[in-house]
Chain A
Amino acid sequence: SYVLTQPPSVSVAPGQTARITCGGNNIGSKSVHWYQQKPGQAPVLVVYDDSDRPSGIPERFSGSNSGNTATLTISRVEAGDEADYYCQVWDSSSDHRGVFGGGTKLTVL
Chain B
Amino acid sequence: QVQLQESGPGLVKPSETLSLTCTVSGGSISSYYWSWIRQPPGKGLEWIGYIYYSGSTNYNPSLKSRVTISVDTSKNQFSLKLSSVTAADTAVYYCARVQPYYDILTGYWPRDFDYWGQGTLVTVSS
CB under 8 Å from chain A, chain B span 104-126: 109-114, 116-119
Contact with B109, one of A41, A48, A90, A95 (Cβ below 8 angstroms): A90
| Set of chain B residues within 8 Å of A100, measured between Cβ atoms | 44-47
Contact with B47, one of A42, A99, A102, A103 (Cβ below 8 angstroms): A99
- For chain B, the count of residues having a C-beta within 8 Å of the partner chain is 22
The reply to whether B60 and A33 form a contact with Cβ atoms under 8 Å apart is no
> Is B35 at the interface (CB under 8 A from chain A)?
yes
Contact with B113, one of A1, A49, A88, A95 (Cβ below 8 angstroms): A88
**Contact mask B81-121 → A, CB, 8 Å, 1/0?**
00000000000001000010000000001111110111100
> Is B50 at the interface (CB under 8 A from chain A)?
yes
The reply to whether A42 and B94 form a contact with Cβ atoms under 8 Å apart is yes
Contact with B116, one of A43, A90, A95, A97 (Cβ below 8 angstroms): A43
The reply to whether B61 and A49 form a contact with Cβ atoms under 8 Å apart is no
CB under 8 Å from chain B, chain A span 28-52: 31, 33, 35, 41-45, 48-49
| Set of chain B residues within 8 Å of A42, measured between Cβ atoms | 94, 116-119
Q: Which residues of B come within 8 Å of A, CB atoms?
A: 35, 37, 44-47, 50, 58, 60-61, 94, 99, 109-114, 116-119
Q: Which residues of A come within 8 Å of B, CB atoms?
A: 1, 31, 33, 35, 41-45, 48-49, 54, 86, 88, 90, 94-103
